[in-house]
Amino acid sequence: MKEFWVDARPWKKGVATSALESGADTIVAESSQRVRELGRVRVVAPDGDLVMEKDVWEVRISDKKSEEKAALLAKSGYVIVSAEDWTVIPLENLVAQADRIIALVHNAEEAELALQVLEKGVAGILLQTDDPKVVKETGSVVHRGLERCDLVPFTITAIRPAGMGDRVCVDTCSMLKEGEGMLIGNTSSAFLLVHAETLENPYVAPRPFRVNAGAVHAYILSPGGKTSYLSDLSAGDRVLVAGKDGKTREVTVGRVKIEQRPLLLVEAEAEGRSYSLVLQNAETIRLVGEDGRARSVVEISPGDRVMGCTKEAGRHFGMAVREQILEK
């Protein structure tokens, strides 16, 4: 998850308030007291959670020497970097050398550029502005997620009952839209897009914050290309929501419900390989069809095509690793 920092120096109450409302991780101020009066957030200040020249440094990049200084300081803490012109002093150089680089930006467009440098982007951005509206615009860019998942069609080859088991409902703190869901897989090499409970049906009311994601052992594709077991998720975790167009955004888990239910084994092929996923056997559980519409698992048949994504197999504590791993 990328960090969203906002500079409230000299004191700008409107900017600080907007930062809190926009989900800022950190506010840079001259004193932490005024910030604390507005809400709970990490503060960089002489009396804050982080202190300048101890935990955080500011470096203006003007030449190779200052670039090397920033990279060295980043080994000990955060480094806020700025430059007159990033096309002259490429941000890529710093991102390649260090992980705790916070890029100084002035608007949402600059933030989007910095967050995508060398694909992985900087660790976060520090926004300098006098306009609370710009704070909200930039916050939306940071939190919507800049990752894309290239969705491909999977052809259903079989779908059959798999007995009783424990399945996981992931209730988020966000309202999901039609066409959105979570990418869930039996293995770390393929994930099907499981649709959120946004649709009307005769049995239960819509729960647009919820994805009935699958069995406890399944993987969910998480921000940064990582994976988590569904059974490991808990309140406060950040997870990835994907749309039928492959665009993603990060949302916060509010609650996880694990209950015993009848299950289905869904088998499918994509790009010449076979994959599977275990889901609850219920009309309200839906995958996303090739046309972008939600399809209930009780009406899907062999030959139907649903959307998902494939990844390089092999995970260690959720991180992709390059080693020989056979998953079935």
CATH code for the domain of 89: 3.20.20.70
CB 5 within 8 A of CB 24: yes
Please tell me the predicted confidence (pLDDT) of residue 222. Answer: 86
Packed helices 132-144 and 13-21: angle between N→C axes, nearest 10 degrees = 20
Cβ partners under 8 Å of residue 216, min gap 6: 165, 166, 167, 168, 229, 230, 231, 258
If asked whether residues 191 and 120 sit together in one domain, one would say no
pLDDT higher than 90, residue 312: no
- Tell which of 107, 127, 144 closes a domain: 144
Cα 39 from Cα 19, distance rounded (Å): 10
Domain that holds residue 199: 152-320
CB 129 within 8 A of CB 15: yes
Q: How many domains does the chain contain in total? A: 2
Q: How many residues does the chain have?
A: 328
Q: Which pairing describes strands 305-310 and 190-195: parallel, antiparallel, or unpaired?
A: antiparallel
Please tell me the predicted confidence (pLDDT) of residue 147. Answer: 63
If asked whether residues 190 and 276 sit together in one domain, one would say yes
Please tell me the predicted confidence (pLDDT) of residue 90. Answer: 66
If asked whether residues 157 and 250 sit together in one domain, one would say yes
Within a domain: residue 328? no
Task: Render pLDDT for 41-50 as a digit per residue (tens, 0 to 9).
Answer: 999 999 999 9
- Of 187-196, 243-252, 255-264, the least confident: 243-252
Cβ partners under 8 Å of residue 21, min gap 6: 136
Backbone dihedral angles phi then psi of residue 310, each to the nearest 5 degrees: -110, 150
If asked whether residues 237 and 273 sit together in one domain, one would say yes
Global confidence as pTM: 0.70
Look at residue 281 and give its three-state secondary structure.
coil
Within a domain: residue 83? yes
Within a domain: residue 327? no
pLDDT higher than 50, residue 318: no
Please tell me the predicted confidence (pLDDT) of residue 315. Answer: 43
If asked whether residues 76 and 209 sit together in one domain, one would say no
- Tell which of 144, 175, 190 closes a domain: 144
- Tell which of 88, 117, 144 closes a domain: 144
pLDDT higher than 50, residue 37: yes
In the predicted model, what is the mean pLDDT of the chain? 89
What CATH number has the domain bearing residue 224? 2.170.16
Within a domain: residue 17? yes
Sign of CA dihedral 188, 192, 193, 198: negative
Cα 318 from Cα 325, distance rounded (Å): 14
- Of 52-66, 140-154, 186-200, 279-293, the least confident: 140-154
Within a domain: residue 192? yes
If asked whether residues 249 and 157 sit together in one domain, one would say yes
Q: Is 45 exposed, middle or buried (0-12, 13-18, 19+ CB in 10 A)?
A: buried
If asked whether residues 183 and 245 sit together in one domain, one would say yes
If asked whether residues 113 and 195 sit together in one domain, one would say no
- Average pLDDT for 122-149: 88
Within a domain: residue 306? yes
